[in-house]
Amino acid sequence: MFVSQTLGTALGCVTAPLSFFLFYKAFDVGNPHGEFKAPYALIYRNMAILGVQGFSALPQHCLQLCYGFFAFAVLVNLVRDFSPKIGKYMPLPMVMGVPFLVGAYFAIDMCIGSLIVFTWHKLDSKKAALMVPAVASGLICGEGLWTLPASVLALAKVKPPMCMKFLGS
């Protein structure tokens, strides 16, 4: 196991920078309007500005909104924990924040996946409980693995056909 972890770490040290440079050359990484927005870069930049300039760098009423949404999240979690009848209909505040971090495309994928899981549970609950994690992992890996051929095609200035990309013209 230790040898496997060592080999995996060594390979990761080589493949991660190569993959990054491939994506950087093929796509407009970091463009807020592009496909690869690099949301963490913007978050860390703003955290650095906040650390240097303090709360005065925040927009007006931002702290009040943070306090309000924090209280809302605590309230929702308390209702979920202490009121099982109502709690099962309450959303998870942590999940509600995902689209703000990674973008709307991920939220749409998750919504479609949730509808498929819901339908699958209605049709065959036992099989769905067993297979949903495996199918979801496979779909996530498949989407991640597709970015490598997509970046090679982008470097070659090949536009993907309709079945690979759904964007307006």
Whether residue 114 is contained in a domain is answered as yes
Query: Is 64 within the bounds of a domain?
Result: yes
Let me know whether 151 and 114 are in one domain: yes
Residue 162 has pLDDT above 60, yes or no: no
Instruction: Establish if 10 belongs to a structural domain.
Output: no
Q: Kindly state the percentage of the chain with pLDDT values over 90.
A: 16
Q: Is 87 exposed, middle or buried (0-12, 13-18, 19+ CB in 10 A)?
A: middle
pLDDT of the residue at 165? 53
- Same domain assignment for residues 50 and 65: no
Number of domains comprising the chain: 3
Is residue 81 a part of any domain in this protein? yes
Cα–Cα distance for residue pair 91/83, rounded to 1 Å: 13
Residue 65 clears pLDDT 80, i.e. is over it: yes
User: Is the confidence at residue 12, as pLDDT, over 70?
Assistant: yes
- pTM, two decimals, is 0.46
Whether 66 maps to a domain, the answer reads yes
Among 37-41, 71-75, 128-132, the range of highest mean pLDDT: 71-75
Instruction: Burial-class residue 103 by CB neighbours within 10 Å (0-12, 13-18, 19+).
Output: middle
Provide the pLDDT for residue 64. 94
Does the pLDDT at position 96 exceed 80?
A: no
Give the domain extent around 148: 99-158
Residues 124-135, mean pLDDT to the nearest whole number: 87
